Structure formats: C-alpha cells, structure tokens
Amino acid sequence: MEGEYTLRPVARIRSDFTEKFGIPRQSGMAPGLEAAIVFEPPYRDLQALRGLEEYSHLWLIWQFSQVVAQEKDGEHWRPTVRPPRLGGNTRMGVWATRSPYRPNALGLSSVRLVRIQPQSPQGPILWVEGADLLDGTPIYDIKPYLPYVDSHPDAR
C-alpha cells in the first residue's frame, strides 16, 4: 500500500529482565534499575546523540516482541482485553488500556537518562533508569521528553 513504511529497530535494550514475568507493568515502577540502550550497527553514530545530554528523560518507542513472536496471522487483535491492573476480570477496549495485545504491539515508555557512554565495543550506549522492557526488546525510536508539552499535571 502506498505510504506504508517498514519499521526497523534502531537499538535494543539490555536489561535484567530475561523473562516477561516480573517486569514492572509501567516504566517508572522500578526507578533504581538501570538498563543499557545499545544501538544497532547502522545507528552507532555518536553524532545522532548530539544534544541529548541536555535532557533528563526520554521516550522509548518499542515493540512487545514476545507478543509478535506468538501471533499467528493477526490473531492477537481483539477489540477488548482484560488488563491485569483490573484483576484480569474486567474487559476494556484495547485503546483504553496499555495491553501488549494491540494491532501493532508497540509500547511507549518514559525513562530517565542516567548517562551517555560515548564509546564501547558496541558504539555509544545510553544508560537509562526505569525501563520496563524485556532484555533484547527492539527499540524503534528515542525522543526527548519535553516537560512543557509532555507533562499534564491536571490529567486523570
């Protein structure tokens, strides 16, 4: 279809979470836990990180890779899901949840940027805190968190 674009991971997370059980349900629920964002070879250019040190927090756009690995011909799509936060007993519309069972299985996490390691055998590495991602999770994009537009203190 015209205008479609294939997403490619720009990085992968390296975290202490080696299986999906035990991962916090939201970023920020494990604030002291550090993880490394290791860039894929085409994106290991330190110039791409220029200016990032000015930000304290980042948005990560990533894929629920285990959900994608389990799907069969789009069978994961359901208009309603049972969120664990509600005890798994109440059905909610998928758009009203953060369930991994979504048409595109994309996740969004806000993490704290701890430091930038400019050189390593794998190129530059971003060290972050509060990531709720399984080790090896593909990251499709990284964006700075901008408090003047991203924070909504009156939100409910």
- Domain-located, residue 95: no
Q: What would the mean pLDDT of 150-156 be, rounded to a whole number?
A: 90
Q: Single out the residue of 106, 97, 62 nearest to residue 79, CA to CA.
A: 97
E strands in 66-134: 80-81, 92-93, 106-117, 125-129
Residue 46 is part of which domain span? Answer: 11-64+105-147
Q: Residue 136: its pLDDT value, please? A: 93
- Domain-located, residue 29: yes
* pLDDT greater at residue 60 or residue 134: 60
- Domain-located, residue 38: yes
Q: What would the mean pLDDT of 122-149 be, rounded to a whole number?
A: 94
* pLDDT tens, residue by residue, 24-42: 555 555 667 889 999 999 9
Question: Which of 56-65, 95-104, 136-145 has the largest mean confidence?
Answer: 136-145
- Domain-located, residue 52: yes
- Domain-located, residue 51: yes
Q: What would the mean pLDDT of 53-81 be, rounded to a whole number?
A: 78
E strands in the chain: 11-14, 34-39, 57-63, 80-81, 92-93, 106-117, 125-129, 138-144
Answer yes or no: is pLDDT of 154 > 80.
yes
* pLDDT tens, residue by residue, 75-119: 667 788 877 666 667 888 989 887 787 788 899 999 999 999 999
Quote the DSSP letter at residue 95: G
On whether the CB atoms of residues 27 and 98 are closer than 8 A, the answer is no
Give one word for 87, left, alpha or beta, with left for phi > 0 and alpha for psi -120 to 50: left
Q: Residue 3: its pLDDT value, please? A: 76
- Domain-located, residue 15: yes
- Domain-located, residue 85: no
- Domain-located, residue 78: no
* CATH number of the domain that residue 113 is part of: 2.40.30.70
- Convert 33-46 to b/e letters by CB count within 10 Å (16 or more is b): ebbbbbbeeeebee
Confidence bin at 1 (pLDDT 50/70/90): low
**Number of domains within the chain:** 1
Tokens of 135: 């080790």
